[in-house]
Copies of this chain bind each other. A is one copy, B any other.
Amino acid sequence: MSWRKEQGRAERGYHHGNLKEALLQAALGLIAEKGAAGFTFADAARMAGVSAAAPYRHFRDRDELLSSIAQRGFEQFESRLTAAWDDGRPDTVTAFERVGRAYLAFAREEPAFYNAMFESGLPVDANAALQAASERAFNVIRAAAERLAALAPPDTPRPPAMMMALHIWSMAHGVASLFSRGDAARRKLPMSPDELLEAELLIYLRGLGFPTDRRPQAKSAEPPPVPPEASSGSGVPPGGAPAGPWGKPK
């Protein structure tokens, strides 16, 4: 944190110097504790050591602060998804699952952001910048789905990538929202949310005809046209009866 001046403790003149950022941080902490609903503008001001009216110099109202946080959240979300995707290395399916886990990890590790982004009830189109950030994040999933779709068994009608992306998103959000966060995490499960999502994804991908036995290839750069992954043929998991993505303890 680089404050403009030394900002040790109580010594701080009439002007704060970094209120906007301080408010965002304070709000983030509060939301993480008590949820977007419980977070209060006045509390954030108090935590930043200013009067209750001060925040209005930086945000039109409470909602604007919230949507700023949501926007920032989508940006971080995008970058984490992008990192997880790693341009499809080492192979598309593996990378795809990594994206799924990254989704859950984000929901778990950044509850405040996730809350602001998806559970605060603020309209998706509240803010153009917010909507754009949200779309950029989704586009990571979408681009990954695009690559995956291109690998679909060739003698099969290609699944629309957009649809796949929406499916993946809904699975990840469903698991995160129902089982992986805050109060919802208290639902007792026979398996962890990560395992649950991983199995769900694998079954789904198998339903599309993708081989999901992992590591079908070693290190090839996977050229766009008809990469090795898709070469297993009939759109059917190899080996007749597939071994389920469940059961066999990892």
Contact = CB atoms under 8 A, between A and B. Distances in A.
A178 B138 CA distance: 12
Contacts of A244: 156-157, 159
A196 interface: yes
Secondary structure class of chain A's binding surface, majority of residues: helix
How many copies of this chain does the complex contain?
A: 2
B178 A247 contact: no
A243 interface: yes
Interface in A177-195: 177-179, 182-184, 186-187, 189-191
Contacts of A170: 171, 174-175, 178-179, 196-197, 200
Contacts of A182: 121
A231 interface: no
Interface residues of A, number: 60
A172 interface: yes
Contact of A240 (B155, B160, B187, B190): B155
A80 B243 CA distance: 35
